[in-house]
């Protein structure tokens, strides 16, 4: 990966412009972020190997995707006696298989040992947010052309039985994109907030929040998702701190670009756990693949395998749900 | 590949300082110069400083400013590092801040550690005592380490310094054994390699660290500590009462903690040419260990307030590494360095980038001074306060190939 100039400097802007404009203008290539995700349920009472959903980590498009990072974290579990500690990820091993090759080792490696990137924000924010810096993470920044916008769909993924979300106690989700104008270099910030009032109902943040109403293309450099704290009782007020794991989302560009959803996973899901977007800042284990990452051609895929490295309570039938994501960008020629 | 092999290097030391009960002014101490001397025949480029409290059982105990909180608790947890000031200079030529010491926590350390753990929700989560969310230490090499096909790296971690509680005072006279079972924690040591067909690969070694039992079952005072084995920090009943004998091993260098050259070679990937190693990592699963510490602590000291956060075991494991059949063949740092001090890319230690790298020629040395604040517990019943603070300077040496 090239040395990236300091953010905010002229050198940075020139670098990003080349990154965004170069392939499009000179090679006819459109770049867009991509993320493949899956959720594995790992039994706690045995060391049995659990494979991911078939074809979840799979390139269904007609163009190659370069994967640069992997992210993983324990999914949100109900606030009950069935809650799974996020730190339980320390006991889960992971292995990737691709055309009969193993990564990183033939023996599963604990997921925390994959972590080779520090992503913690200040304590007050880190658990509630995910930030993806497209430039710093080696992806290619998307370009929001004139009159383009983003469609951003979100949902609260709480277990309905235990959910605290209802019309009187909404959950606030904010999605923000930042970037700068291709011509003017002036900064742009698009942000939209949605009050989620029921669990598992997919809603769109108003596209007017993200529309490029200006007169120049905008290079998008960062994306942030924030889940705010929730008031769950009124008298006296009781707050739950924000937890990014409670929300899933998907994004696509409307106008130019591919028009495809950026995130894809198992066939029965359409929204990606928001914690997996925390490649730059967040709460997940982030593994940066060596070198320039791996090129996935059309119809290429890989198998994810996880297992508990030692069984916990043999009497328990509890599962450890782990979200895993593979992050990169597509190159549409 | 210019025929030069870059090996990581670290100069480290641990300051064991007792601030007397009547100390009303800051206490300045000079660290052992021998520990900061380049004793190799290659120049050493140092780019970062790391600072951490070493060997403490807890990161923090109950807030001393709460009603009923005891100020002495602050000094019996790793949070004491917040009160340390530091000055660094190379004699005659480099004075970073030789005249005035600077509080270490104010020098804008780089982000190096895990996201925080969730706070208690509805009382169901027992997370606050846990040391960390993922608890992984990482050393990203300044330059990738290219080693020939037939060469290897040998890496060993020490035994685990046991939790120390003394008999007497408020606690019952029963042994504090629970966290010292041999399978309470699990360590994974890993080398990350680049190249090959699918991303790359990694070599790993996994084992359960065992607690170390001091000779004769007696805790080491600072004077009795050795170069590799660190003294025990103060506990809640300061003093040198008889040490409670615990199960464990007497060999400081745990044989199971050896990631041998043979094991390294056994995991050679099926490709030709030199191996490019980019970083080393250690993941410590201490979730079970932490819960056992918390429960045993409350059993032993039922009259004391609720438990704080357990310290990461990377501040309580020593380490040593060397290249085999290539490079210098010397230990990369003085054996016994706390893992948190030398694995400074991801670590619970405070890490600062030096404004300018320091290059030490063979025989060169650094002067490092540390300042402890006055003893705030004055008057009748005042206690002497003990600090065990580790400091390291980390970088690399270019070795002719």
* CA neighbor of B336 nearest in space, from B185, B214, B248, B229: B229
Residues B187-209: pLDDT tens digits? 999 999 887 767 778 999 999 98
- Distance, in Å, from the CA atom of A201 to the CA atom of A157, rounded to the nearest integer, reads 9
CB B87 within 8 A of CB A93: no
CB contact under 8 A, B287 and A85: yes
Residue A222, pLDDT > 90, answer yes
Residues 6+ apart with CB under 8 A from B345: A118, B112, B138, B139, B140, B279
Answer whether B127 touches A (CB < 8 Å): yes
Using 50, 70 and 90 to split pLDDT, how confident is the model at A264? Answer: very high
CB A69 within 8 A of CB A75: no
CB contact under 8 A, A79 and B121: yes
Query: Which of A47, A68, A90, A229 has the most B C-beta neighbours within 10 Å, making it the best mutation to test the interface with B?
Result: A90
**Partner residue facing A115 (CB), from B134, B201, B203:** B134
Taking residues B82-110, what's their average pLDDT? 72
**Partner residue facing B115 (CB), from A88, A101, A126:** A126
Query: Which of A79, A104, A119 has the most B C-beta neighbours within 10 Å, making it the best mutation to test the interface with B?
Result: A104
Q: Reduce the DSSP state of residue B390 to 3 states and report it.
A: strand
Q: Nearest CA of chain B to the CA of A323: how many Å? A: 15
Question: Which pLDDT does position B19 carry in this prediction?
Answer: 85
Cβ–Cβ contacts within 10 Å for residue A3, how many? Answer: 5
Question: Which pLDDT does position B122 carry in this prediction?
Answer: 39
Q: What residue in B sits closest to A112 (Cα-Cα)?
A: B134
Taking residues B317-339, what's their average pLDDT? 94
- Distance, in Å, from the CA atom of B352 to the CA atom of B84, rounded to the nearest integer, reads 14
* CA neighbor of B281 nearest in space, from B183, B387, B161, B135: B135
Using 50, 70 and 90 to split pLDDT, how confident is the model at B325? Answer: very high
CB contact under 8 A, B133 and A99: no
**Partner residue facing A285 (CB), from B134, B206, B287:** B134
CB B54 within 8 A of CB B233: yes
Residue A218, pLDDT > 70, answer yes
- Positive or negative, the CA dihedral A130, A135, A138, A139 is positive
Q: Reduce the DSSP state of residue A112 to 3 states and report it.
A: helix
Residues B148-171: pLDDT tens digits? 888 999 999 998 876 655 443 333
Residue predicted with more confidence, A291 or A79 = A291
Q: Nearest CA of chain A to the CA of B37: how many Å? A: 31
Cβ–Cβ contacts within 10 Å for residue B398, how many? Answer: 15
CB contact under 8 A, B190 and A113: yes
CB contact under 8 A, A291 and B195: yes
Residues 6+ apart with CB under 8 A from A314: A45, A46
CB contact under 8 A, B113 and A120: yes
A313-327, B81-95, B258-272: range with lowest mean pLDDT: B81-95
* CA neighbor of B58 nearest in space, from B259, B216, B234, B247: B234
Q: Nearest CA of chain A to the CA of B202: how many Å? A: 5
Answer whether B275 touches A (CB < 8 Å): no
Q: List, as one string, the DSSP characters of B84-131.
A: -EEEEEETTTEESSSSS-EEGGGS-PPP-SPPPPP--STTT--GGGSS
Question: Which pLDDT does position B104 carry in this prediction?
Answer: 66
CB contact under 8 A, B118 and A127: yes
Between residues 77 and 96 of chain A, which touch chain B (CB distance below 8 Å)? 79-81, 83, 85-91, 96
DSSP, res B43: -
Query: Which of B110, B115, B207 has the most A C-beta neighbours within 10 Å, making it the best mutation to test the interface with A?
Result: B115
- Distance, in Å, from the CA atom of A72 to the CA atom of A279, rounded to the nearest integer, reads 10
Contacts of B114 in chain A (CB under 8 A): 120
Answer whether A242 touches B (CB < 8 Å): no
Q: Burial-class residue B318 by CB neighbours within 10 Å (0-12, 13-18, 19+).
A: buried
Tracing tokens 């070198």 back to the chain, one arrives at: A291
Residue A236, pLDDT > 80, answer no
Using 50, 70 and 90 to split pLDDT, how confident is the model at B120? Answer: very low
CB contact under 8 A, B122 and A79: yes
Question: Which pLDDT does position A137 carry in this prediction?
Answer: 87
Using 50, 70 and 90 to split pLDDT, how confident is the model at B180? Answer: very low
Which of A50-59, B114-123, B177-186, B214-223 is modeled with the greatest confidence?
A50-59
Cβ–Cβ contacts within 10 Å for residue B362, how many? Answer: 13
Report CA-CA distances (Å) from A79 to A194, A313, B197.
23, 20, 43
Answer whether B136 touches A (CB < 8 Å): yes
Cis geometry, peptide bond prior to residue A236 (ω within 30 degrees of 0):
yes
ipTM strictly over 0.85? no
A57-66, A206-215, B285-294, B309-318: range with lowest mean pLDDT: B285-294
Answer whether A255 touches B (CB < 8 Å): no
Q: Nearest CA of chain A to the CA of B169: how many Å? A: 34
Residues A34-87: pLDDT tens digits? 999 999 999 999 999 999 998 899 999 999 999 999 999 999 887 666 778 888
Euclidean distance between the first and the last CA atom of chain B, given in angstroms as a whole number: 10
Taking residues B137-143, what's their average pLDDT? 95
CB contact under 8 A, A90 and B113: no
Q: Nearest CA of chain B to the CA of A254: how many Å? A: 33
Q: What residue in B sits closest to A116 (Cα-Cα)?
A: B138
- Burial state string for A152-172 with b = 16 or more CB within 10 A and e = fewer than 16: bbbbbbbeeeebbbeeeebbe
- Burial state string for B112-145 with b = 16 or more CB within 10 A and e = fewer than 16: bbbbbbbeeeeeebebbbbbbbbbbbbbbbbebb
Give CA B156 to chain center in angstroms.
14
Using 50, 70 and 90 to split pLDDT, how confident is the model at B380? Answer: low
Residue B246, pLDDT > 60, answer no
The model's pTM is 0.87
Residues 6+ apart with CB under 8 A from B148: B274, B275, B325, B326
Residues 6+ apart with CB under 8 A from A81: B124
- Distance, in Å, from the CA atom of B228 to the CA atom of B252, rounded to the nearest integer, reads 9
Answer whether B193 touches A (CB < 8 Å): yes
CB B361 within 8 A of CB B107: no
> What is the interface size between A and B, counted as CB pairs within 8 Å?
144
What tokens appear for B301 in the block? 């000291």
Residues A101-160: pLDDT tens digits? 888 888 999 999 999 999 888 777 788 899 999 998 888 889 999 999 999 999 999 887
- Burial state string for A86-103 with b = 16 or more CB within 10 A and e = fewer than 16: bbbbbbbbbbbbbeebbb
Using 50, 70 and 90 to split pLDDT, how confident is the model at B99? Answer: low
Strand pairing class (A30-43; A263-264): parallel
Query: Which of B185, B199, B266, B345 has the most A C-beta neighbours within 10 Å, making it the best mutation to test the interface with A?
Result: B199
- Positive or negative, the CA dihedral B371, B376, B377, B382 is positive
Q: What residue in A sits closest to B278 (Cα-Cα)?
A: A290
Cβ–Cβ contacts within 10 Å for residue B262, how many? Answer: 11
* CA neighbor of A239 nearest in space, from A331, A320, A323, A164: A164
Report CA-CA distances (Å) from B254 to B75, B210, B258.
30, 7, 7
Q: Nearest CA of chain B to the CA of A81: how many Å? A: 6
Ramachandran angles phi, psi of B261, nearest 5°: -60, -35
CB contact under 8 A, B124 and A98: no
* CA neighbor of B126 nearest in space, from B117, B135, B134: B117
Contacts of A111 in chain B (CB under 8 A): 134
* CA neighbor of A323 nearest in space, from A267, A268, A265, A252: A265
């Amino acid at each position: 990966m090239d040395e990236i100039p300091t953010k905010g400097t002229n050198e940075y802007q020139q670098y990003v412009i080349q990154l965004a404009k170069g392939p499009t203008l000179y090679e006819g290539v459109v770049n867009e972020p991509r993320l493949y995700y899956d959720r594995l349920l790992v039994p706690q009472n045995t060391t049995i190997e659990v494979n991911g959903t078939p074809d979840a980590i799979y390139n269904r498009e007609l163009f190659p995707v370069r994967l640069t990072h992997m992210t993983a974290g324990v999914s949100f579990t109900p606030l009950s006696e069935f809650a799974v500690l996020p730190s339980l990820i320390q006991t889960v091993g992971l292995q990737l298989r691709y055309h009969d090759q193993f990564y990183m080792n033939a023996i599963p490696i604990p997921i925390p040992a994959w972590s080779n990137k520090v992503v913690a924000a200040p304590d007050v924010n880190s658990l509630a947010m995910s930030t993806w810096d497209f430039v710093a993470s080696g992806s290619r920044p998307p370009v929001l052309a004139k009159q383009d916008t983003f469609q951003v769909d979100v949902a609260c993924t709480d277990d309905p039985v235990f959910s605290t979300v209802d019309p009187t106690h909404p959950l606030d989700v904010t999605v923000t994109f930042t970037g700068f104008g291709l011509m003017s270099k002036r900064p742009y910030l698009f942000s939209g907030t949605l009050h989620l009032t029921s669990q598992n109902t997919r809603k769109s943040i108003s596209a007017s929040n993200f529309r490029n109403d200006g007169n120049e293309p905008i290079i998008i450099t960062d994306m942030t998702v924030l889940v705010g704290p929730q008031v769950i009782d009124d008298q006296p007020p009781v707050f739950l701190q924000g937890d990014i794991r409670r929300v899933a989302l998907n994004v696509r560009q409307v106008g130019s670009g591919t028009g495809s959803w950026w995130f894809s996973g198992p066939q029965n899901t359409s929204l990606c756990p928001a914690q997996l977007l925390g490649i730059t800042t967040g709460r997940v284990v982030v593994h940066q693949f060596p070198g320039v990452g791996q090129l996935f051609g059309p119809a290429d895929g890989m198998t994810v395998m996880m297992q508990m490295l030692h069984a916990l309570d043999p009497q328990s039938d509890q599962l450890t749900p782990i979200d895993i994501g593979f992050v990169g960008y597509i190159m549409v020629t | 590949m210019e025929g030069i092999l870059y090996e990581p290097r670290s100069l480290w030391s641990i300051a064991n300082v007792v601030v007397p009960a009547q100390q009303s002014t800051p206490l300045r101490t000079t660290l052992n110069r021998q520990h900061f001397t380049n004793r190799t025949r290659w120049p050493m480029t140092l780019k970062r400083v790391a600072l951490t409290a070493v060997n403490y059982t807890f990161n923090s105990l109950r807030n001393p400013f709460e009603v009923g909180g005891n100020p002495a608790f602050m000094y019996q947890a790793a949070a004491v590092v917040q009160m340390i000031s530091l000055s660094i200079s190379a004699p005659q030529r480099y004075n970073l801040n030789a005249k005035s010491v600077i509080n270490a926590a104010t020098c804008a350390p780089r982000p190096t550690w895990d996201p925080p753990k969730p706070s208690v929700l509805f009382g169901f989560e027992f997370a606050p005592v846990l040391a960390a969310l993922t608890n992984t230490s990482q050393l990203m090499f300044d330059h990738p380490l290219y080693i020939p096909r037939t060469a290897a790296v040998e890496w060993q971690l020490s035994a685990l310094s046991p939790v120390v509680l003394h008999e007497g005072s408020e606690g019952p006279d029963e042994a504090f054994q629970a966290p010292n079972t041999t399978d309470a924690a699990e360590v994974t040591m890993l080398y990350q390699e680049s190249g090959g067909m699918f991303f790359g690969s990694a070599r790993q070694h996994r084992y359960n660290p065992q607690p170390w039992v001091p000779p004769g079952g007696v805790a080491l005072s600072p004077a009795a500590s050795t170069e590799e084995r660190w003294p025990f920090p103060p506990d809640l009943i300061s003093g040198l009462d008889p040490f409670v004998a615990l199960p464990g091993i007497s060999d400081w260098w745990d044989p199971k903690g050896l990631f041998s050259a043979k094991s390294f070679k056994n995991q050679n990937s099926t490709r030709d040419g030199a191996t490019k190693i980019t970083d080393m990592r250690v993941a410590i699963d201490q979730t079970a260990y932490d819960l056992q510490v918390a429960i045993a602590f409350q059993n032993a000291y039922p009259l004391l307030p609720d438990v704080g956060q357990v310290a990461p075991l990377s501040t309580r494991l020593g380490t040593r590494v060397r290249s085999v059949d290539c490079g210098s063949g010397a230990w990369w740092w003085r054996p016994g360095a706390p893992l948190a001090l030398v694995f400074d890319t991801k670590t619970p230690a405070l890490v600062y980038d030096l404004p300018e790298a320091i290059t030490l020629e063979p025989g060169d040395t650094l002067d490092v001074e540390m300042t402890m604040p006055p003893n705030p517990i004055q008057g009748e019943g005042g206690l002497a306060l003990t600090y065990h603070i580790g400091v390291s300077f980390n970088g690399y040496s270019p070795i002719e190939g």
